[in-house]
Amino acid sequence: MRCYGCLKDIDKGLYYCPKCKSNLFDGKSMKPLNFDKTEFYRIRGEMSEKMSISGVQDKISLSFNSNNELVPTNKDGRYILKPIPREHDNTVNLEDIVQNEHLSMQISSQIFKINTAHNALIEFSDGELAYITKRFDYSLNYSEKKIVKVDQEDFASVLEYTSENHSKAYKYESSYEECALKIKEVVAAYIPALEDFYKRVVLNYLIGNADAHLKNFSIIRDVDRADYSLSPNYDILYTKYHLPKEDATMGLELFKEHETNTFGAMGYYTLEDFELFAEMIGIKQKRLEKIYKVILTSRKQVHDLIDSSYMSNTAKESYKESYETRLNRCLFYYIDTYPFRSFAQDTIKKYL
């Protein structure tokens, strides 16, 4: 048995290792949920009017009842539960989607060391897997034993993108450059925040997440604090596996206006773009080399994590192949006939 949180081996009969139990469930021992997916949709229907979680994927809020069981709630929910969704147009392989999101979030936290929302898989009463994540817009104040709401603003809101001043697809109409400039403006500790943001963009590119749009990045602050920080990473998965016809790369463009020579020739982002993006948002050479070194030296760890995930074998193979292709032929690809000022080429030559 592998932990439904971190995917490490645990004793038979357990669902979560002690560390995940502590991070996710305040140390409570967890069993499968006491309801199934049919019940989920019944509750979802009843609560849809009152729910405050945005997005189109079916989800409900959960919190602990007095018996320490996770049950649906429409007030002060501390968890979000997402089951395997119903069929939508053009979507395929949905039976792997919750395991895919869980794995992608684990790559974010375990390999990329990005501050990532706590997450895991959990079983419905009939054994079907769902994805569960702990809300970070509610934090528990242990000394006063009460739940404190955290101010959260996604980047559509921060940048004031709406369907009125843009099109209906407004959340896809910005660029990561624009987000980065805003981080510099609103986050006090913007240097580490921009490095974190850069890693998130690279991660989305490598795992084939075409849905990293404005609403999937947020800033947060505790109610009694004045300064914002970048929220934990959330809502990331290898979307290309479920929407193979989708041709978007990440959701947003890298640049507001700029186009590199290699992009002009190839039609997709390569090293020249990612180095220029790093330079534009102020990532120092040493830091960039370090980020690339981690990515290049952790390929086996990524493969091992994929292998230990709960996805089907077909999905695992696709994830690995896609990741390798994007690493070799996209992120670290460059053409000698299009020279550019590279900071990290030595690191890449050394570890690729």
Q: Which residues bind Zn ion (CB under 5 A)?
A: 3, 5-6, 17, 20
**Least Cβ distance, residue 26 to Zn ion (angstroms):** 15
User: Which runs of E-coded beta strand occur in 201-334?
Assistant: 218-222, 229-230
Nearer Cβ to Zn ion, position 91 or 109? 109
Question: Which DSSP category does 233 fall into?
Answer: B
Given a contact cutoff of 8 angstroms between Cβ atoms, the answer to whether 104 and 209 are in contact is yes
Helix (H) or strand (E) holding 133: strand 129-134
Task: Report which of 136, 132, 161 is spatially closest to residue 147, judged by C-alpha positions.
Answer: 136
Strand partners, 119: 133
Nearer Cβ to Zn ion, position 102 or 199? 102
Give the sign of the dihedral formed by CA 107, CA 215, CA 150, CA 122: negative
**Least Cβ distance, residue 117 to Zn ion (angstroms):** 15
Nearer Cβ to Zn ion, position 19 or 88? 19
Task: Report which of 266, 256, 288, 265 is spatially closest to residue 275, judged by C-alpha positions.
Answer: 288
Nearer Cβ to Zn ion, position 14 or 71? 14
**Least Cβ distance, residue 30 to Zn ion (angstroms):** 11
CA distances from 12 to 1, 3, 307 (A): 6, 10, 19
Nearer Cβ to Zn ion, position 7 or 201? 7
**Least Cβ distance, residue 10 to Zn ion (angstroms):** 7
**Least Cβ distance, residue 25 to Zn ion (angstroms):** 11
CA–CA gap between residue 311 and residue 297 (Å, rounded): 24
